[in-house]
């Protein structure tokens, strides 16, 4: 029987039993029967909202759905998303009022950033609504992973909007404006995560199991390569051998960029502008050796781009925008990726603002299912902004000083070199600053089989200048360092507080099976949220299979990937 029909029948049986009992034994009036029926349907609302942090708003949102006795789990989810989207739209429309109170260039720019970010949030919610509306096309586990992925991105965009403001009053105005939307997003994330137990509470067994399915590939840690017979529906047949051809030098790219005029275009921007509308195949851009001083954004509609160069120290995309220049962190990126399915290979991304520039992003990624192979990201503070969605980095080199890998995404960095640079005098280094704001989000930052080491310039002072694995940017920050080699550049305590006791009880920081002089955990911080993982099964959820649903898309990128643990 169809799961949704079964749910409707089960709920009707609950209501029907109530009515039959009332008429058969007590002779209640029609009004009494109606009240009994309403009580039965409201039981579902109470059950769904029980685990949420903002129960009143949850009940208010879902009560209209309960009036429909045949409502399904998907109806409740859809209602939760729709009301959240309406709230975000209201804030978007009111952003002009907040703009009047903006002070200086950064706050004014932050308002414009908010308009863009909140529109991204609405787009994500619309995608969630559409997916729930076509639930019959998706397995329950797929549905859960995708919905959590989109809603986690909504949270990231809301927080990115708020964080962009410099002045406290304007920041507070935007946070207050987004309060309802933030609470509703939190509720929606909880509902997704708790739906199985909700149905159990209602004694309704419809097989609606939305727990993430077991990742068979995650158990063994083997490598997967391009396989012409193993592709998801979104990966067009014509694309299947592109990366294999590129490896062999036989790939004919869609566009060639060369500063010396030997290609079709002299700038990367021109090649991206030539992206064909409504293209069903992957758009391949080859960027020849050279330093390209141009600010690039792969916009939302430009999906499934493969961009490759002649090597991360030969093909370099550079910029120098920084917070010091009155530019929001969001806008400092030399290269930004929004369009889903982006693959970057053998390219360097850098921001040359230096440590004096403070926040200065080299690469910002908010695209879903984005992957980078054999790339470099060089900067100082805030080098790599892993802003949202699912991201994978393999065989890369990432350098910086303060919070140089940061954001609120599901990101796995594998087999890469993490290079800690010399900061300004009286500064300290933090490799990561993960930004999970709500406990229901599915986001985490994981470094697996990486090397964490100082740049040559820092080596003489590496024991004097403090360096840490990370600090918690937001309340529920999740960061895991596993199977990596940690140099003595990292202090024995390992991790640094953000401010006082902020997030120390609610974060989840973990280390598993690391080696090297900086991997000794005997003197690590004693925070409630920090853990040394000793059980292999506890580490598996942070591998590429479970964390990124990587078995569904990473093999098709052509990038060799370890879907589970390395050892």
- pLDDT grade for 527, boundaries at 50, 70 and 90: very high
Residues 131 and 251 in one domain: no
- pLDDT grade for 463, boundaries at 50, 70 and 90: very high
90-144 pLDDT, tens digit each: 999 988 777 677 777 888 899 999 999 999 999 999 999 998 877 655 565 678 8
Q: Given a cut of 90, is residue 56 above it in pLDDT?
A: yes
Q: Which residues form the catalytic set? A: 403
> Higher confidence at residue 28 or residue 524?
524
In this structure, is residue 171 part of a structural domain?
A: yes
In this structure, is residue 59 part of a structural domain?
A: yes
Q: Which domain holds residue 520?
A: 401-556
In this structure, is residue 445 part of a structural domain?
A: yes
In this structure, is residue 564 part of a structural domain?
A: no
- Taking the C-alpha atoms of residue 226 and residue 223, their distance in angstroms, rounded to an integer, is 10
134-178 pLDDT, tens digit each: 765 556 567 888 999 999 999 999 999 999 998 888 899 899 999
Question: Could you say which DSSP state residue 213 is in?
Answer: P
Per the CB < 8 A criterion, the answer to whether 374 and 396 are in contact is yes
% of the chain exceeding 90 in pLDDT: 68
Last residue of one domain, picked from the residues 202, 232, 265? 202
Q: Given a cut of 70, is residue 505 above it in pLDDT?
A: yes
Residues 432 and 506 in one domain: yes
- pLDDT grade for 11, boundaries at 50, 70 and 90: very low
Residues 265 and 350 in one domain: yes
- pLDDT grade for 277, boundaries at 50, 70 and 90: confident
Pairing of strands 296-298, 478-482: unpaired
Q: What is the model's pLDDT at position 104? A: 78
- pLDDT grade for 474, boundaries at 50, 70 and 90: very high
In this structure, is residue 515 part of a structural domain?
A: yes
Residues 186 and 47 in one domain: yes
| Backbone φ, ψ for residue 5 (5° rounding) | -65, -40
- pLDDT grade for 77, boundaries at 50, 70 and 90: confident
Sign of CA dihedral 367, 481, 162, 382: negative
Per the CB < 8 A criterion, the answer to whether 449 and 561 are in contact is no
What b-and-e string marks burial along 267-276, b requiring 16 or more CB atoms within 10 Å of the CB? Answer: bbeebbeebe
Per the CB < 8 A criterion, the answer to whether 395 and 415 are in contact is yes
Residues 247 and 337 in one domain: yes
- Taking the C-alpha atoms of residue 190 and residue 265, their distance in angstroms, rounded to an integer, is 49
Residues 407 and 549 in one domain: yes
- pLDDT grade for 549, boundaries at 50, 70 and 90: very high
Q: What is the model's pLDDT at position 37? A: 43
In this structure, is residue 372 part of a structural domain?
A: no
Residues 357 and 408 in one domain: no
The CATH number given to whatever domain includes residue 430 is 2.160.20.10
Last residue of one domain, picked from the residues 138, 171, 202? 202
In this structure, is residue 374 part of a structural domain?
A: no
Per the CB < 8 A criterion, the answer to whether 327 and 347 are in contact is no
| Closest to 110 (Cα-Cα) out of 153, 180, 172 | 172
Q: What is the model's pLDDT at position 16? A: 36
Per the CB < 8 A criterion, the answer to whether 324 and 357 are in contact is yes
Contacts 24+ apart (CB under 8 A), 13-22: 14/40, 14/43, 14/202, 15/40, 15/41, 15/69
Minimum mean pLDDT range among 196-200, 427-431, 492-496, 541-545: 196-200
Q: What is the model's pLDDT at position 243? A: 53
Q: What is the model's pLDDT at position 250? A: 55
- Taking the C-alpha atoms of residue 295 and residue 318, their distance in angstroms, rounded to an integer, is 8
CA distance to 11, 43, 193, 206, per residue, from 136 (Å): 20, 26, 19, 14
Q: Taking all residues of the chain, what is their mean pLDDT, rounded to a whole number? A: 85
Residues 57 and 192 in one domain: yes
> Higher confidence at residue 272 or residue 22?
272
Q: What is the model's pLDDT at position 207? A: 36
In this structure, is residue 18 part of a structural domain?
A: no
Q: Given a cut of 70, is residue 13 above it in pLDDT?
A: no
Residues 489 and 536 in one domain: yes
> Higher confidence at residue 251 or residue 385?
385
Q: 563: exposed, middle or buried (C-beta count within 10 Å: 0-12, 13-18, 19+)?
A: buried
Q: What is the model's pLDDT at position 244? A: 54
Give mean pLDDT, residues 57-64.
92
Q: Given a cut of 90, is residue 318 above it in pLDDT?
A: yes
Residues 93 and 170 in one domain: yes
Q: What is the model's pLDDT at position 9? A: 34
188-232 pLDDT, tens digit each: 999 888 876 665 555 544 333 333 323 333 333 443 333 333 333
358-398 pLDDT, tens digit each: 999 999 999 999 999 999 999 999 999 999 999 999 999 99
Minimum mean pLDDT range among 73-87, 127-141, 521-535: 127-141
> Higher confidence at residue 116 or residue 280?
116
Last residue of one domain, picked from the residues 302, 331, 362? 362
Residues 350 and 430 in one domain: no
The CATH number given to whatever domain includes residue 76 is 1.20.140.40
Q: How many CA atoms lie within 13 A of 492 on its CB side?
A: 2
For the ranges 201-210, 242-251, 494-503, the one whose mean pLDDT is highest: 494-503
- pLDDT grade for 325, boundaries at 50, 70 and 90: very high
Residues 158 and 255 in one domain: no
What's the domain count of the chain?
A: 3
> Higher confidence at residue 105 or residue 265?
265
Q: What is the model's pLDDT at position 12? A: 36
Per the CB < 8 A criterion, the answer to whether 351 and 359 are in contact is no
- Taking the C-alpha atoms of residue 542 and residue 491, their distance in angstroms, rounded to an integer, is 24
């Amino acid at each position: 029987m169809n799961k949704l029909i079964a749910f409707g029948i089960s709920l009707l049986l609950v209501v029907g039993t109530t009515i039959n009992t009332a008429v058969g034994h007590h002779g209640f009036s029609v009004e009494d029967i109606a009240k009994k029926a309403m009580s039965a349907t409201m039981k579902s609302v109470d059950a769904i909202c029980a685990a949420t942090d903002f129960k009143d708003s949850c009940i208010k949102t879902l009560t209209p759905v309960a009036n429909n006795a045949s409502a399904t789990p998907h109806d409740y989810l859809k209602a939760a998303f729709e009301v959240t989207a309406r709230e975000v739209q209201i804030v978007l429309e009111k952003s002009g009022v907040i703009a009047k109170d903006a002070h200086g260039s950064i706050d004014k720019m932050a308002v414009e950033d908010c308009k863009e970010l909140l529109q991204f949030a609405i787009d994500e919610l619309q995608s969630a609504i559409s997916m729930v509306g076509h639930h019959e096309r998706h397995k329950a586990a797929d549905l859960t992973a995708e919905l959590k992925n989109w809603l986690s991105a909504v949270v990231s965009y809301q927080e990115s909007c708020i964080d962009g403001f410099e002045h406290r009053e304007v920041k507070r105005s935007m946070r207050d404006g987004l309060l309802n939307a933030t609470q509703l997003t939190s509720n929606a994330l909880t509902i997704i995560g708790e739906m199985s137990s909700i149905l159990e509470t209602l004694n309704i067994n419809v097989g609606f199991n939305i727990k993430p399915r077991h990742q068979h590939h995650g158990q063994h840690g083997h490598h997967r390569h391009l396989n012409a017979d193993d592709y998801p529906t979104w990966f067009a047949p014509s694309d299947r051998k592109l990366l294999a051809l590129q490896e062999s030098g036989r790939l004919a790219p869609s566009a060639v960029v060369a500063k010396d005029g030997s290609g079709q275009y002299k700038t990367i921007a021109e090649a991206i502008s030539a992206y064909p509308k409504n293209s069903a195949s992957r758009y391949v851009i080859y960027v020849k050796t050279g330093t390209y001083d141009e600010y690039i954004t792969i916009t939302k509609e430009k999906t499934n781009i493969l961009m490759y160069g002649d090597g991360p120290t030969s093909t370099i995309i550079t910029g120098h925008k920084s917070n010091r220049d009155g530019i929001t962190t969001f806008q400092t990126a030399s290269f930004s990726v929004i369009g889903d399915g982006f693959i970057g290979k053998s390219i360097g991304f850098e921001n040359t603002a230096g440590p004096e520039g403070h926040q200065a992003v080299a690469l910002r990624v908010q695209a879903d299912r984005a992957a980078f192979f054999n790339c470099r990201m060089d900067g100082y503070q805030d080098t790599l902004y892993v802003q949202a969605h699912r991201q994978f980095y393999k065989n890369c080199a990432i350098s910086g000083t303060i919070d140089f890998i940061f954001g609120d995404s599901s990101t796995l960095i594998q087999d890469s070199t993490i290079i800690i640079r010399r900061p300004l005098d009286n500064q300290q280094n933090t490799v990561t600053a993960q930004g999970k704001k709500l406990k229901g989000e599915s986001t985490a930052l994981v470094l697996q089989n990486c090397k964490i080491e100082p740049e040559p310039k820092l080596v003489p002072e590496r024991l004097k200048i403090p360096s840490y694995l990370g600090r918690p940017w937001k309340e529920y920050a999740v960061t895991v360092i596993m199977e990596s080699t940690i140099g003595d550049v990292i202090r024995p305590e390992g991790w640094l507080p953000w401010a006082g006791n902020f997030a120390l009880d609610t974060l989840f920081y973990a280390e598993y099976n690391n080696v090297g002089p900086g991997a000794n955990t005997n003197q690590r911080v004693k925070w409630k949220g920090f853990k040394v993982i000793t059980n292999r099964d506890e580490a598996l959820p942070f591998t590429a299979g479970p964390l990124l649903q990587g078995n569904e898309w990473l093999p098709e990128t052509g990038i060799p990937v370890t879907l589970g643990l390395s050892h």
